Amino acid sequence: MTVLNKNKLNTKQFNILIVDDCQVSSLYLSKLLSQLGFNSIDRVNSYQQAVKFCSKKHYSLLFIDYHLEQILNGSELYDLLKEKGFIQAYTRVITVSGDHTTQTVLGTLSKGNGDYLCKPISKSILSHKLSAAWDDYQMFKTLHSFDRDLDLSAQKEEAIKYAKIKNINELDLFLFDLFLPNEKEDLLTLCLKPEFIHRRNYILTRLRLEYELDLAPITKIINSTEKLCLQYPLFVDAFDLLVELQIKLRHFEGALLSANSALVLTPSISNRALSVLKLALTCNNKNYFIKASHLLANHLPIADHNWCVYIVECFAYYDEYIQNCQSEYDRKQLILEQKNFVRRSEYRLTAIQKKQLSVLFSLSECKRLIKENNIIKAKRMMLKAVNPYVDDLHQLNSIILVELLYLLSFYGELWLLEKVNAVIKTKHQFNDYCLDALQILKCDQELNASLKMLSNILTDGNNIQNNNVTAEALEQLKHRYQNILPQYPYSSELCISLLECYASLSIDNPAIISSMMALVSNMPLSEKLMHRREAVFKILHAHEGYIEERGTTDLKLNVNNLYIEKDTELLSLSRKPTFMLLP
């Protein structure tokens, strides 16, 4: 039996936290640790308690049960603690589980910072794991003690020294990170040293560097990567590189098979599910597409603040696939599968996250309806989805706000767009998705100028109509409204303002008036706009039958058909989404 070296390991300095919702298992592990000489042991039975304990005390080692509870598993708890900064970079984590499947073990170990302990736990194996955890804790604590800006060379030397005697995946990745991205040639030299040349992480890194530095033909690199995948069939990172290389050569079918192999091994890694979705869409492989979406939903990382990004990207792929369907049967099946994706995801989400998902799904449907030229229905769906949050938009995730900003700018709904923009400006942290989108917004001078013009015209119009003015001034105002109408024919404020202008001038044009009424009728708007809408409807003696009878023509098609075609292209999967911010 392996026995801990008590002289080597100072158990009093090794603070341990056990996270397990099974009291029997937790108590049993605690007793084993006590028998091995550890006294500083805390036990909690939920992820909430784990967060609370870790926020107040630094632990050297965490034992986390993988199947912790339905809401959050052990791997996701680790992500949450790491994101909040409640565990140190060198804290060790040992995942404990009776689940011995390859997918669970690989998915957990890919997080780094730890080991995997299978139940039932034996004292000898536990002793061995603790000894290794103590060594790794001391090693990584030393490596992280360097100031990278001042002592990078010394830190490299220390990491290389450890790497020569320890073949640990996490240590290899730490070492590679010290060289990248500015010292690729030096890293390549390191990979070719006798101590490392036959180790799989260094072989893979060498192949990647040869590709990035264009040192060998890509076909040769692909052949070498394929051999590496055959030699190490559980080496998922090698499959990732193979996918990248196959895509470069436009071998999409091969890339799909490679990406799917990686996903099957690690179904809990969302980025791999999205990679399969994108490739399945490219290859028109519906079976792989649906299976990947199921895996993404079943393993949605709810503790990851990027979970909304995964949802948005998946919805974008679904929308593109639905648009490209050649048969009505396939189209209906994919629409149904997207709804199934939402239902599967709901099982993973908290009550608050479910509400966010519902809004995201509605916005996704809006985009699809816009592409299908069902623009009024799409607008009504959008406003209905966000109506419960209009008075407190801070409830919505930043990604939803950015998605909403795009749609509002398309419609010219300034009354809500300005609110959303104001809330976004109060937020200090954005993920890469939001940052990219907001940067596009700020740089799109043409669209910003267009929205600013709409805002100025509506402001001037409100000022004019609130005072007693001449018919000539109203006539000029009507022409200004009509001039910008081709750009924003679905703007509620513009339609209501123009209707008010028609009413003041006693203009009788049933075709145009009924079309504009149809655009704003039953739309969830601000209280002020709804009051203005009802007032002008009353003046024009409008009623539902009149609107339904007269408002059958889509005003957008009459006014400017080309504008719709240009803007709906912005919803295309092949481009980043385009958004709009007010200046």
Task: Specify if 527 maps to a domain.
Answer: yes
Reduced to 3 states (helix: H, G, I; strand: E, B; else coil), residue 88 is coil
CA 62 to chain centre: 28
Same domain, 30 and 154: no
Residues 35, 159 within the same domain: no
- Dihedral over Cα of 146, 147, 151, 157: its sign: positive
Rg of the Cα trace of the chain? 30
**Residue in this structure with the two tokens 């600013």, named with its chain if needed:** 452
Q: Are 61 and 152 in contact (CB under 8 A)?
A: no
Residue 395 is assigned to a structural domain of this protein: no
Picking from 193, 216, 239, the residue at the C-terminal end of a domain is: 216
Q: What is the pTM of this model?
A: 0.85
Instruction: Give the torsion sign (CA, 369, 371, 373, 378).
Output: positive
356: in domain: no
Residue 570's pLDDT is: 39
What pLDDT score does 4 carry? 53
The answer to whether residue 310 sits within a structural domain is: no
Helix spans in 38-122 (H): 47-56, 74-84, 102-109
Same domain, 87 and 166: no
pLDDT value for 467: 66
Tokens of 106: 């690989």
Q: Are residues 70 and 160 in the same domain?
A: no
User: Is 474 within a domain?
Assistant: yes
Structure tokens at 370: 């816009």
Same domain, 19 and 137: yes
- Considering Cα of 498, then 509, then 531, then 527, what sign does the dihedral take? negative
What per-residue confidence (pLDDT) applies to 111? 62
- pLDDT for the residue 70: 62
Kindly report the CATH number assigned to the domain that includes residue 130. 3.40.50.2300
Q: Are residues 133 and 174 in the same domain?
A: no
Residues 110 and 18 in one domain: yes
User: Is 346 within the bounds of a domain?
Assistant: no
Q: How far apart are CA 67 and CA 47, in angstroms?
A: 11
Q: Are 169 and 105 in contact (CB under 8 A)?
A: no
Q: Give yes or no: residues 112 and 185 share one domain.
A: no
SS3 call for 89: coil
Q: What pLDDT does residue 8 have?
A: 54
Edge-to-edge strands, sheet with 92-97: 41-44, 16-19, 61-65, 92-97, 114-118
**Where a domain ends, among 144, 169, 184?**
144
Q: Please report where in the chains the tokens 């809006």 appear, as a residue.
A: 366
140 and 158 assigned to the same domain: no
Residues 153 and 101 in one domain: no
Domain range enclosing 32: 11-144
CA gap 63, 66 in Å, rounded: 9
Total count of domains within the chain: 3
SS3 of 182-245: the string is: CCHHHHHHHHCCCCCCCCHHHHHHHHHHHHHCCCCCHHHHHHHHHHHHHHCCCCHHHHHHHHHH
Which of 180, 198, 216 is the last residue before a domain boundary?
Answer: 216
Tell whether 39 and 63 lie within a shared domain. Answer: yes
pLDDT tens, residue order, the chain (583 aa): 344 554 455 665 789 999 998 889 999 999 999 999 898 999 999 888 999 999 999 999 999 998 877 677 888 888 889 888 899 989 999 988 887 777 777 777 766 667 888 888 899 999 999 999 999 999 999 999 998 888 999 999 999 999 999 999 999 999 999 999 999 999 999 999 999 999 999 999 999 999 999 999 999 999 999 999 999 999 999 999 999 999 999 999 999 999 999 999 999 899 999 999 999 999 999 999 999 999 999 999 888 888 999 999 999 999 999 999 989 999 999 999 999 999 999 988 889 999 999 999 999 999 999 998 999 999 999 999 999 999 999 999 999 999 999 999 999 999 999 999 999 999 888 888 888 988 888 888 888 999 999 999 999 888 776 666 788 888 999 999 999 999 999 999 999 999 998 888 888 778 888 888 888 988 999 999 999 999 999 888 755 444 444 444 444 434 333 233 334 443 432 233 333 333 3
Residues 192 and 140 in one domain: no
